[in-house]
Amino acid sequence: MTPLIEITGDDIAALGDADLRTLVGLLCEADYRLAGLPTKGITWGGNQDATDGGLDVIVRDDVLPPVSSFVPRRITGIQVRKPDMPKSEIIKEMRPKGVLRKAIKELVQDKGAYIIVSSTGSTTDTALKNRIKAMKEAVVNEDNYENLHLDFLDRGRVATWVRSHPSMILWVRNKIGKPLIGWRPYENWSNAPGGVEEEYLLDDGLRLHDGNKPIDQGFSVENGLSKLRSVLSTPGTSVRLAGLSGVGKTRLVQALFDNRVGDKALDQHQAFYTNISDSPVPDPVTIANHLINDKTRTILIIDNCPPDLHHRLTQTCSTQHSTVSLLTVEYDVRDDLPEETSVFILEPASEDIIEKLICKRFSHISQVDARTIASFSGGNARVAIALANTVLQGETLSGFRNEQLFERIFWQRHDPNENLLISAQACSLVYSFEGTDVNSENSN
């Protein structure tokens, strides 16, 4: 990797205990996801000092791990420690009070692997061999100890592991306070109150349309997710997702990486996301060029991406040896998009979905009022949520006319301002018109 999006052993050493353990668990998952393998056999968690049997991350699966993975065997136990682990500490860790840990004995019998990760230590090749030798000394008196694969990962080797998963570089840098400005790994891009764990509500309505086809009846969100995933799983592709503000484009993009929704979710650890309104540094074209030059498989997501930037990114990401899939998001679709671009248009949600959304997020709002809000919103989740935020505990919207609902959502509990309302009406009038550029080559 180039210094632009580099990660070093010093960066790994800067992680706290909890983040270090989470990182190792996520890296194990990332290896498996990259190979298309399930991650259900990978577990980690708990307090660093809890009685955990000497294992912080456990991999226990029926299939062999990926060949390129730092996980060497289908049954692998990993002990994560922030301090350096010289020989004396290794022996004490593996044989507390002189007795080999039960968890390590079980790994021997399972012909598994035992790994110690130390984020403070930085070992030379000789020091690394000495640490592994110390690990062997700790198990040498165990029957069939030769069955156990042993390894030691210092901060430099962990950094190498992180480099194989581009989104994890962003994750580490964000954790240690050295983020790339405006760039984010897979996380709660849509700012849903429930975070990435919040359920994505599927709509049976024909909400997604193929913008490259003049006549298209559309397809459901679930089928649309499948089509988008299929396109973006191939490096060098360019996709444009369009739709009015507030219809849920960013939430849909987030769902592309959610393995609870549909089949064949995109790899979360390949996601590089930015919103142009966050003024990302480096700029998206620079990031794309570096990722391609480094042969790093990435799904690059640019939210609120203007057409000219989409053009330049498509030119960069659609080259023959590109490793990057491009997804840009904007409110409209221009007729002059590059031929390489696949276009998808997201329509407003059904009233049923908006009603479910309001009921889930606002427990104090009755189903009747949720239905009123859904009907008023016209399928726009942002409008519906803004209106729901004005409803106090014990209050009802029963009997409100559309004009009253509009005033409520416009004023947002602030004092009325007639001049502001007039200005908004003028802006909405201009926005409602569709025009034609008269400054063409044939114009006088």
pLDDT confidence bin for 393, thresholds 50/70/90: confident
**Residue 272 pLDDT more than 60?**
yes
pLDDT confidence bin for 442, thresholds 50/70/90: very low
- Nearest CA among 155, 174, 382, 156 for reference residue 272: 174
CA 319, distance to chain mean position in Å, is 25
At residue 263, φ and ψ (nearest 5 deg) are -115, 155
pLDDT confidence bin for 215, thresholds 50/70/90: low
**Residue 149 pLDDT more than 90?**
yes
Q: What's the per-residue H, E or C state across 321-383?
A: CCCEEEEEEECCCCCCCCCCEEEEEECCCCHHHHHHHHHHHCCCCCHHHHHHHHHHHCCCHHH
Cα–Cα distance, 2 to 159 (Å, whole number): 13
CA 225, distance to chain mean position in Å, is 15
- Nearest CA among 84, 93, 73, 108 for reference residue 12: 84
Average of per-residue pLDDT across 319-342: 88
Cα–Cα distance, 250 to 397 (Å, whole number): 29
Average of per-residue pLDDT across 67-73: 94
